[in-house]
Amino acid sequence: MKKIVNAATPAVCAVALTLSVVAFANSNAATAPAPIVTSAPAAPAGQPVDLTYAAEKALPAVVYIKNTQNSKIETVEYSDPFEDFFSDPFGGFFGRGQGNGGRRQRQVQTPKRAAAGSGVIISADGYIVTNNHVVDGADELTVSLNEGSKEYSARVIGADKTTDLALIKIDGKNLPAIAIANSDDVKVGEWVLAVGNPLGLNNTVTAGIISAKARTLGANGVESFIQTDAAINQGNSGGALVNTRGELVGINAMLASPTGSNIGYGFAIPTAIMNKVVDDLKQYGNVQRAMIGIQGSDVKSYVDNQKDNGKEIDLGTMEGIYVAKVVEDGAAEAAGLKEGDVITSIDGKKVTSFGELQGVLAKKRPGDKVAITYLRAKKSHNATLTLKNEQGNTKVVKNADTDVLGADFRPITDAQKKQLEINYGLEVVKVNGGKMKDAGVPKGFIIQRVNDEPMHTFDDLQNAVKEANNSKDQMLVIRGIFPTGKKGGFVVYLQNE
């Protein structure tokens, strides 16, 4: 089985593959800085590679990050297997289980916790890039420079769970910032170093090559990993993947292994994605994510799947992205794409896999235009798409109080208005966690009123959350309609337990 494990919060999710993908934080986030040009040339083809220069350049810029989570009072569920035996023959229940298998709640005090990982200094004034899972849930963040020469307290500028990147800041001057290269230029077979703090062994360097590019693993929402055989283990998360010139090409994030330790393959987030995420976090407080408005898969995967089902499919190519569904009111629909089309290039660059498509989109913002080439009935067509955000428009998504909800929203479409016979509402298009999940609000639910105020736009919801946060009760009374047409409501408590 393939497991996604966040070592800072040990939780396991199983999906159907044969390897384990492990995101590690355990062991003993304006504009991203311009790449610094270094003088050491790459080794000539066929000649030995001296990696000492790269190690000397990279080591001072890689830091040790300690994540401390203080003791807290948490509400947990537990089961009393005997409680439902005391049932009322008239349909009620005497116990607190209420016929739910004896599920009850109690408050417990969690112990103080500590986890650790790595980070990379990207500017001399103290900006550091690391993984989201390295800093997630931290009450205190401590950063130690190379060789433990100095220790700083750090604050989180911004974090993005979807790309597993975070930007933190320490108050320092003249820090040893790393040079940043364009990860689009790295080649399969090129030598790289992984620099970090694995297994409690600080300031560790391992060597290998680029094994693959644009790799997807099913671990995050946005994936276009650089794959390497340089050894990556627990504690390497957030560390540097550098080329032979000591320039940063990726942020180490996870490894593939059935044992949880390195057996040959690690994965790094490319700097081409990192730079854009850093820029967004500094400028907006969160990532401005551009959506193309399709659901699909690699052509080869689609054709192979159809063949397994006894169907022979000829799309005119075995490379590209098969469009299985066009999202209503999305960028692709506006440009005329249809189910069954095959996207073969974006901005003149061939796309052969979904990982490559995600890699391109991860560098874009809502409102950006992209030129695509696609096949329909084996004939080539061109179109220009204006990318949209998760709310279905091109506006900047503000880092407002709605973050606490842990969900994404968009105004309902004309088709939904007609089908459900309503005039307005906000559809819950994704529930990632947070207060919406706690309240049981499902994906697809359409919010029409919050605290008796109508919800026409995302700004309406932002205002409602801000007002609720300033109120005594700090709660949202949500009323709306399910996709089936059934009306319903939820109470969302904004305060922490």
Tell me whether residue 469 is annotated as binding: no
Tell me whether residue 164 is annotated as binding: yes
Please name the residues in contact with 89: beta carbons below 8 A apart, sequence gap of 6 or more. Answer: none
φ/ψ of residue 193, rounded to 5: -120, 140
456 among known catalytic residues: no
Tell me whether residue 71 is annotated as binding: no
Strands 225-228 and 240-242: unpaired
Tell me whether residue 236 is annotated as binding: yes
Quick one: tokens of 332? 């692709």
Q: Which of 123, 144, 237, 353 is catalytic?
A: 237
SS (H, E, C) the chain: CEEEEECCCCCEEEECCCCCEEECCCCCCCCCCCCCCCCCCCCCCCCCCCCHHHHHHHHHHEEEEEEEECCCEEEEEEECCCHHHCECCCCCECCCCCCCCCEEEEEEECCCEEEEEEEEECCCCCEEEECHHHHCCCCEEEEECHHHCCEEEEEEEEEECCCCEEEEEECCCCCCCCCECCHHHCCCCCEEEEEECHHHCCCEEEEEEEEEEEECCCCCCCCCEEEECCCCCCCCCCCEEECCCCCEEEEEEEEECCCCCCCCEEEEEEHHHHHHHHHHHHHCCCCCCCECCEEEEEHHHHHHHHHHCCCCCCCCCCCCEEEEEECCCCHHHHCCCCCCCEEEEECCEECCCHHHHHHHHCCCCCCCEEEEEEEECCEEEEEEEECECCCCCCCCCCCCHHHHHCEEEEECCHHHHHHHCCCCCEEEEEECCHHHHHHCCCCCCEEEEECCEECCCHHHHHHHHHHHHCCCCCEEEEEEECCCCCEEEEEEECCCC
Amino acid at 97: G
Q: Which of 20, 118, 123, 133 is catalytic?
A: 133
Tell me whether residue 133 is annotated as binding: yes
Q: Which of 164, 279, 280, 401 is catalytic?
A: 164
The catalytic residues are 133, 164, 237
Q: Which residue positions form the known binding site?
A: 133, 164, 235-237
Q: Which residue positions form the known binding site for substrate?
A: 133, 164, 235-237
